Structure 1
Amino acid sequence: MGGDRERIDFVVVGAQKAGTTALFDYLCEDPNIFLPPEKEVHFFDDEARDWGACDYSDYHSRFELGGGRICGEVTPIYMYWPRAMERIRDYNPGIRIICLLRDPVERAWSHWRMETARGVEDQSFSRAIRRGRQRLFEGEPWGSHRVYSYVERGFYGEQLARILGLFDHSQVLVLENEDLERRPQETLERFNAFVGAAAPDARMTRRVHVGQVVGEMPQEDREYLGGLYADDQKRLAELLAQTG
């Protein structure tokens, strides 16, 4: 592994609405892997901590370190949140990073549907992905927002480039949401081999948090987002080719 057994072994860092809950549920059933009972720990995106002299004791209390099982957590905002990946690198430079990705246009739509269903969002999707993006500058840190980042979380190329600038390519695994849905066993075998766990038992396919159907995405919005993401998707493809 090359990791530190006094530190956790892996982190699934993103992306939100890309199947991370299904992955978490699968991993919770694997006796070779230990995860905290809560899916999202939200440690490395906690702005209230003293990151100049961080105390990891409460973080480690959530895990069975040294117990023989591979330990990790699943918090999808880490991939997007400013400084979270740098904090993870400072915590354990040898850690394994897993990114689970989904078509960014569909991801944005699913994210907006979730926030609308929760009663947090009252803007239309069309407005939210255009003028609504200004709301990010009301957040803290400036320019980031936990809720209204429908568009920004989908710039995977930019985010992956940042990750690969912090970690060796061999420490980063990128998976596709489609593969987890259609070929879960093969995908989980890749995951376990990557983190150093024994091969998983055969599993039944599952889908969770599919979300309430709220009409269909307007075609003009789909085309608008496709244009926004075009260059970043090319960058992502180049990075994936480099990482193999």
Structure 2
Amino acid sequence: MMSEPIATPVLDFAIIGIQKGGTTALHRFLSSHPQIFLPEPKELHFFNSDGATDWAVPDYRKLEAHFAKVPREARKGEATPAYIFHPHALSRLRAYNPAAKLITVLRDPVERAYSHWRMERTRQAETLDFPEAIRAGRLRVAENPARFSYVERGFYAAQIERLLALFPAEQCLFLTTDDLKTDHIPTLSRVWRFLGCDETAAAPEPQMIRPLLSDETLAPLSDCDRGYLRALYREDIHRVAALIGRDLDGWG
């Protein structure tokens, strides 16, 4: 049984997803705003911690210690992109602060899957080539959901539906990686407005943004693998577009 929301929650907002979607860049951009505080390291992993916290009687002191010396008036947030994929993280966050504002950065799921695989490969945590990892390799997801969920994390519709069942739509902001790449000034103005911050704050220069959102080191995705993933995601992308009110025809 979840505890009652605490009287004065410290955390005002969270960037909850998606992994390999551009959340590191957004964290950097938000940290530059004088009215916003996000702790380092970027990902606190508090609400998706299954073993370290008794969620029947959660102790929020570990979370709130990151904000102990922050001015009361600052907008306090954190960025853990695993939250939207985790089955319980959002309900735990709601139990802590049902008024929290939540930001999700969505990326073309085909590109996201490839970037995720490349990250694990670089870490030497993945031995399978990409074609096998996204086919037979999916059987390993139960073994390690965080590592091997290249394909599964890209089915956004169910994750968004879970989010919107817990939080009202006006507390949820959906961006895309392309918003940050190609339209960053108006996109950041939307974020400032969503968080109730000064919209006149200077946005980062484009030369700061490109390296944070670049996957230029990736070899091209094969037509075969792209087509395979595009077919898997096609119906889900239509559902996502309807849920967030965006044209996503360019994905896949």
Kept in 1, the 8 Å contact 2:185–2:203? The answer is: yes
Structure 1 unmatched ranges of 5 or more = 140-144
Deviation at 1:120, TM superposition (A): 0.9
Paired amino acid for 1:159: Q
Alignment match, 1:142: none
Confirm whether residue 218 of structure 1 aligns to residue 234 of structure 2: no
Paired amino acid for 2:156: Y
Confirm whether residue 155 of structure 1 aligns to residue 147 of structure 2: no
Kept in 1, the 8 Å contact 2:98–2:167? The answer is: yes
Deviation at 1:156, TM superposition (A): 1.1
Deviation at 1:155, TM superposition (A): 0.9
* 1:2-29 C-alpha deviation (Å, 9 max, x unpaired): x975331101000111111111111111
Structure 1 residue matching 2:82: 3-state secondary structure: helix
Match of 2:135 among 105, 111, 130: 130
TM-score when normalising by structure 1: 0.91
Of all paired residues, the percent bearing the same amino acid is 41
Confirm whether residue 16 of structure 1 aligns to residue 34 of structure 2: no
Q: Distance in 2 between matches of 1:152 and 1:4?
A: 36
* 1:193-222 C-alpha deviation (Å, 9 max, x unpaired): 101111221321213263573422111111
Alignment match, 2:204: 203
* 1:23-65 C-alpha deviation (Å, 9 max, x unpaired): 1111111111000021111101101110110000110010156
Kept in 2, the 8 Å contact 1:5–1:66? The answer is: no
Structure 2 unmatched ranges of 5 or more = 1-5, 247-252
Q: Provide the aligned C-alpha RMSD in A.
A: 1.8
Kept in 1, the 8 Å contact 2:9–2:97? The answer is: no
Q: Distance in 1 between matches of 2:8 and 2:24?
A: 26
Alignment match, 1:187: 187
Of residues 192-201 and 54-63 in structure 1, the stretch that sits farther from structure 2 once superposed is 192-201
* 1:71-122 C-alpha deviation (Å, 9 max, x unpaired): 0001101011111111111111110011001100000011111111111111
Alignment match, 2:176: 176
Question: Is the alpha carbon distance of 1:195 and 1:4 closer, same or farther for their aligned partners in structure 2, counting shifts above 3 Å?
Answer: farther
